[in-house]
């Protein structure tokens, strides 16, 4: 069973002006697609050939298999964390959990922004369910909460290929646009409720 490149949940122009069609074409069409192609080459003819993506991520040790599988999973999750109708604030049980864990939604946004901007080098910043509460975690390179038994609720990709064509080295502007205009609270709430 080959791993497929999942379709984007919106058109490649839908996130303009915050993320351009050009960025989507490289980030999704080149980077994400390459991870899928590499992963399929690595699992062909192995015990992982019929495994789910999640099982491959959980079973793989450090190296190429993990890096490509985790990047496929991370990117697929990331695309769903954004919406052309995103931004605003969460509501309901998710908002209550965020307020309980961070003091307020605004405090969460400030910490998530600070951690995303301060995530050194290439990686990801996540909102995860941890025990009875929520936490923000940063991962390097391809690492993912899935590999550590955590439940991912939200992520932002802070590898330069996620924003460099639109924002150059202004990672804070990209993170602001993500939080204020693109963050898909409905997807985050569905992950929280699952």
Q: Is 41 exposed, middle or buried (0-12, 13-18, 19+ CB in 10 A)?
A: exposed
Give the model confidence (pLDDT) of 67-121 as tens digits.
Answer: 999 999 999 999 999 999 999 999 999 999 999 999 999 999 999 999 999 999 9
What does the pLDDT read at residue 152? Answer: 98
- Quick check: 192 pLDDT over 80? yes
- Quick check: 163 pLDDT over 90? yes
What does the pLDDT read at residue 31? Answer: 97
What does the pLDDT read at residue 33? Answer: 98
Contact call for residues 85 and 72 (beta carbons, < 8 A): no
Give the model confidence (pLDDT) of 13-35 as tens digits.
Answer: 999 999 999 999 999 999 999 99
- Quick check: 1 pLDDT over 90? no
What does the pLDDT read at residue 132? Answer: 87
Give me the residue spans of the domains in the chain.
21-80, 92-193
Contact call for residues 18 and 181 (beta carbons, < 8 A): yes
Give the model confidence (pLDDT) of 130-156 as tens digits.
Answer: 888 999 999 999 999 999 999 999 999
Q: How far is it, in rounded angstroms, from Cα 125 to Cα 146?
A: 13
What does the pLDDT read at residue 131? Answer: 85
Q: In CATH, which of 3.40.50.970, 3.40.50.300, 3.40.50.1980, 3.55.40.20 is domain 92-193?
A: 3.55.40.20
Instruction: Specify which residues 151 forms β-bridges with.
Output: 129
The verdict on pTM exceeding 0.85 is yes
CATH of domain 21-80: 1.10.287.990
Average pLDDT over residues 119-125: 95
Q: How far is it, in rounded angstroms, from Cα 50 to Cα 56?
A: 10
Give the model confidence (pLDDT) of 25-67 as tens digits.
Answer: 999 999 999 999 999 999 999 999 999 999 999 999 999 999 9
């Amino acid at each position: 069973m080959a791993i497929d490149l999942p379709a984007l949940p919106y058109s490649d122009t839908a996130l303009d002006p915050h993320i351009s069609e050009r960025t989507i074409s490289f980030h999704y069409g080149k980077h994400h697609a390459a991870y899928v192609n590499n992963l399929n080459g690595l699992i062909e003819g192995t015990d992982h050939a019929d495994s789910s993506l999640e099982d491959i991520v959980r079973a793989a040790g450090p190296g190429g298999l993990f890096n490509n599988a985790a990047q496929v999973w991370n990117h697929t999750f990331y695309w769903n964390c954004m919406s052309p109708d995103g931004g605003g604030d969460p509501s309901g049980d998710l908002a209550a959990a965020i307020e309980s864990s961070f003091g307020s939604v605004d405090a969460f946004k400030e910490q998530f922004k600070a951690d995303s901007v301060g995530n050194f080098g290439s990686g990801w910043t996540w909102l995860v369910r941890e025990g009875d509460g929520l936490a923000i975690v940063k991962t390097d390179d391809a690492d993912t909460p899935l590999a550590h038994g955590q439940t991912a609720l939200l992520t932002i990709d802070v590898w330069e290929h996620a924003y460099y064509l639109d924002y150059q080295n202004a990672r804070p502007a990209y993170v602001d646009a993500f939080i204020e205009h693109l963050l898909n609270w409905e997807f985050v709430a569905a992950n929280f409720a699952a």
